[in-house]
Chains A and B, each alone.
Chain A
Amino acid sequence: MPAVKRHSYDVIIVGAGGAGMRAALESSARVRTAVLTKLYPTRSHTGAAQGGMCAALANVEEDNWEWHTFDTVKGGDYLVDQDAAEVMCKEAIDAVLDLEKMGLPFNRTPEGRIDQRRFGGHTRNHGEAAVRRSCFAADRTGHMILQTLYQNCVKQGVEFFNEFYVLDLVLSEGRAAGAVAYELASGDIHVFEAKAVVLATGGFGKVFKTTSNAHTLTGDGMGIVWRKGLPLEDMEFFQFHPTGLAGLGILLSEAARGEGGILRNAVGERFMERYAPTIKDLAPRDIVARSMANEVREGRGAGPNKDYVLLDLTHLPREQIDAKLPDITEFARTYLGVEPYTEPVPVYPTAHYAMGGVPTNIRAEVLRNNTDVVPGLYAAGEVACVSVHGSNRLGTNSLLDINVFGRRGGIAAAEYAGVATKAPVPPGVESQVVATVQRLLESTGGDRVAEIRSALQNTMDMNAQVYRTEESLKQAEEDILALKARYVNVAVTDKGKRFNSDLLEAIELGFLLDLAEVLVIGARARNESRGGHFREDHPNRDDTNFMRHTMAYRNEDGSITLDYKPVVQTRYQPMERKY
């Protein structure tokens, strides 16, 4: 039996990416706070973000937060909760200025102010023209955000528990009361009692095979909440970015096509001319991603397995590639060994961002149903669904989301902990985690984690990616159920206590299986196409029946019930989404 250790704090924050550390800076300045993270903070995937973070600073041209709000709502295909989008876009300005004061090395204008550049979907005056709104630090904005927040946590003496995997949440009398964690180094179980808990565990891109997400993005926070019988919102909405490196999913920035790059199929045809005759390769993300998938499906894919298309930059001058697309050349060379000067780069849509997640309100409080909160429980960042992204996130709005709602969550949790009494923690709260660990360590099953995981990722790529139909989703659902049955006998070869990553991969796979099922069931029920969710059998948006959020609940017997939640509309009426 593993050793069990106990700790007590006012607030615990689960996750040390952008959202978690932004929350920690607020909370630890007010009350006793601990941050629990399965990775060293600077390893979090926020560091992979390149493009930028939007805020209507108007440093380089006229702009205001109301235009930003409109773009966000329209970009999300009107499924955005407009009160939340207003909060985010209003607070964006201070969010960027705060980061600068913390030391973030933003690129500068000739006058020495924070520089801004254009980004997809961000416009002046409700769609008139592109606006320069994205604040950036070269092409490593996420890296700089993550470093800057960690540096400030060091400055402030924030207490971290690194490589602690939170595996369960403690709820008592309907309130948050702490969390149960597994310490990677020792295999010990730790019970953290707390008045408030902030979840900031990021996304779950690893349900897909082709993804820009890290190996560690397994949706633990969502999975834990789900198993507590709390709802998940809009899980069917996942963003697929058109240009991931084929087979790897590593992201290639949209700038490649902005600079004149062309997508071609196996016979060299510029196929986007057929799908979007006017703007061709620069059509919106979802359209390009679907067109690429269709080429492959109809047998015009390139490569030995005919399973990707080609991003052709060979007609561009080398100087232009070097000056404007250094990232793409570096990634293509390193990872595919392809020389973009002379060879086209294999690309395919890559699963990128979870719009759905743990439902919250604008104070980052977690909802137990459409209206009531779980006192003491908060969520922020990609794990949460507040919902500022609706059915399709605009580029740069996630780095913004994690800063605005991370900050809000940290403040709200600390303020709550300042006045609330501690909920009693019943004895044996760790028993579930101890039992799971014990069962997996003793398992004699023959099914490898890697086999089940790769089968899951294959069926998700095949059946629940950019194109979905009733039939494909039904297939995915059947596959997932069969894999869940196999998972009962999953094998863990490492029986040790120290650094048992074999055990943790098995646990993470359990979360992935649960979340894939919620995604697929939500997608099957949504008989329309909106934003990132495209149903070939229902290709149009249906505002009469589906202008509403999906709320999925897990029943005692493991089955799933779907309910719906109205969209908050303040000032914008749904219109057809045209650019």
Chain B
Amino acid sequence: MTAVAERPAETRAEAPIETRPVRVKIRRYVPELNPEPYWQTFEVHALPTDRVLNLLLDIKGYQDGSLTFRRSCAHGVCGSDAMRINGVNRLACKVLVKDMPDEITIEPIKGLPLEKDLVVDMEPFFEAYRSIKPFLITYGQPPTREHIQSQADRERFDDTTKCILCAACTTSCPVYWTDGQYFGPAAIVNAHRFIFDSRDEGTEERLEILNDREGVWRCRTTFNCTEACPRGIEVTQAIAEVKKALLYRRV
């Protein structure tokens, strides 16, 4: 099915900027109307500055209001719009259309229960995150002012503090696809963020959780996660560091 975009005059059709026709092929799923997922193709006139999210907004706004996806910040900081774009997990708001071919295929991320169109149930993902105790654990009297932490100690876990819980990594992991019980890279990244924080005293309990059957040892180092991460986090390396900490029981 192909529909042609009708754009309001002031935004595209009459804009003096050159637009480029792009075919957006979307895997749709509307269980209330149709028990099976299906493909639908839309044609959109893309502006040179458009990101894939703009195309989706345009389709929703001017062609089919029922197209459903999550979005909020529109600049890669909230983690709402991870999806499979031409087979790779990306944030739709960070992919420039001008870097894409004339046909763009969009599917929901894999491994989480599908709800509708590009929307998946995020609960299992957040449950895995919550299960690794993603919070600072300290015992004894808190300091009167701040904890003292050296710049080097602060640097130690800087990379993993950048995580926006978008699930791009976890849902690109072949182990996670076949075994939904596996915590997945994002949970391990967030465990890393605390295990390597010099202020934290919960390392033992956290490592115990990660040593579990469904924990860190399931990782097969395929690097999909690192490639998928829109924040440039060295996910595989973080997992390797957690594995090492488990082997030697120290950080």
A residues neighboring B (CB under 8 Å): 39-40, 42-45, 47-48, 97, 100-103, 105-114, 137-138, 140, 143-144, 147, 151-152, 154-155, 185, 214-216, 247-248, 250, 304-305, 331, 334-337, 448-451, 454, 458, 491-494, 496-502
Q: Tell me which residues across on chain A come within 8 A of B194, comparing CB atoms.
A: 103
- Surface stretch bound by A, among B35-43, B149-157, B203-211, B217-225: B149-157
Compute how far the CA of A493 lies from the CA of B65 in the bound complex, rounded to whole angstroms: 5
- Surface stretch bound by A, among B73-81, B176-184, B234-242: B73-81
Q: Tell me which residues across on chain B come within 8 A of A450, comparing CB atoms.
A: 57, 60-62
Q: Which residue of A lies closest to B194 (CB)?
A: A103
Q: Are B65 and A491 in contact (CB under 8 A)?
A: yes
Q: Tell me which residues across on chain A come within 8 A of B80, comparing CB atoms.
A: 39-40, 43
Q: Are B96 and A114 in contact (CB under 8 A)?
A: no
Q: Tell me which residues across on chain B come within 8 A of A493, comparing CB atoms.
A: 64-66
Q: Are A112 and B148 in contact (CB under 8 A)?
A: yes
Q: Tell me which residues across on chain A come within 8 A of B94, comparing CB atoms.
A: 334
Q: A105-B161, A337-B48, A491-B65 are in contact. List 18 more A-B contacts (CB 8 A).
A: A42-B78, A45-B78, A48-B73, A105-B154, A108-B149, A111-B148, A112-B150, A137-B161, A140-B162, A147-B163, A154-B135, A214-B72, A247-B49, A448-B62, A451-B62, A494-B65, A496-B32, A497-B32
Q: Are A502 and B115 in contact (CB under 8 A)?
A: no
CB distance from A403 to the nearest CB of B (A): 15
Q: Tell me which residues across on chain A come within 8 A of B16, comparing CB atoms.
A: 304-305
Q: Are B76 and A498 in contact (CB under 8 A)?
A: no
Q: Are A336 and B49 in contact (CB under 8 A)?
A: yes
The residue that B151 contacts in the complex, of A40, A42, A110, A454, with Cβ under 8 A, is A110
| Any A CB within 8 A of the CB of B142 | yes
Q: Tell me which residues across on chain B come within 8 A of A105, comparing CB atoms.
A: 154, 157-158, 161, 197
Given contacts A42-B164, A113-B146, A151-B135, contact A335 B11 (CB under 8 A): no
**Interface hits, B131-161 → A, CB 8 Å:** 133-136, 142-143, 145-151, 153-154, 157-158, 161
Q: Are B49 and A454 in contact (CB under 8 A)?
A: no
Q: Which residue of B lies closest to A38 (CB)?
A: B72
| Any A CB within 8 A of the CB of B68 | yes
Q: Are B199 and A103 in contact (CB under 8 A)?
A: yes
| 27 residue pairs from A and B, CB less than 8 Å apart | A39-B80, A40-B165, A42-B78, A43-B73, A45-B73, A45-B78, A48-B77, A97-B145, A101-B147, A102-B136, A105-B157, A105-B197, A114-B146, A140-B162, A151-B136, A154-B134, A155-B133, A214-B74, A215-B72, A250-B75, A305-B17, A334-B76, A335-B51, A458-B10, A498-B115, A500-B68, A502-B65
Q: Are B74 and A449 in contact (CB under 8 A)?
A: no
CB distance from A329 to the nearest CB of B (A): 14
| Any A CB within 8 A of the CB of B101 | no
Compute how far the CA of A247 lies from the CA of B200 in the bound complex, rounded to whole angstroms: 44
Compute how far the CA of A152 lies from the CA of B78 in the bound complex, rounded to whole angstroms: 19
Given contacts A337-B49, A499-B115, contact A42 B79 (CB under 8 A): yes
Q: Tell me which residues across on chain B come within 8 A of A448, comparing CB atoms.
A: 61-62, 65
Compute how far the CA of A304 lies from the CA of B60 in the bound complex, rounded to whole angstroms: 27
Q: Tell me which residues across on chain B come within 8 A of A138, comparing CB atoms.
A: 158
CB distance from B247 to the nearest CB of A (A): 26
| Any A CB within 8 A of the CB of B98 | yes
Q: Which residue of B lies closest to A160 (CB)?
A: B126
**Interface hits, B61-100 → A, CB 8 Å:** 61-62, 64-66, 68-80, 94, 96, 98
Q: Tell me which residues across on chain B come within 8 A of A497, comparing CB atoms.
A: 32
| Any A CB within 8 A of the CB of B1 | no
Q: Which residue of A lies closest to B64 (CB)?
A: A493
Compute how far the CA of A143 lies from the CA of B172 in the bound complex, rounded to whole angstroms: 24
CB distance from A101 to the nearest CB of B (A): 5
Q: Are A152 and B30 in contact (CB under 8 A)?
A: no
Compute how far the CA of A143 lies from the CA of B79 in the bound complex, rounded to whole angstroms: 11
Q: Which residue of A lies closest to B162 (CB)?
A: A140
Q: Are A496 and B30 in contact (CB under 8 A)?
A: yes
Q: Tell me which residues across on chain A come within 8 A of B72, comparing CB atoms.
A: 39, 43, 45, 214-216
Q: Which residue of B lies closest to A109 (CB)?
A: B151
Q: Tell me which residues across on chain A come within 8 A of B10, comparing CB atoms.
A: 458
The residue that B146 contacts in the complex, of A97, A152, A500, with Cβ under 8 A, is A97
The residue that A113 contacts in the complex, of B64, B142, B148, with Cβ under 8 A, is B148
The residue that B116 contacts in the complex, of A100, A214, A499, with Cβ under 8 A, is A499
Compute how far the CA of A491 lies from the CA of B146 in the bound complex, rounded to whole angstroms: 54
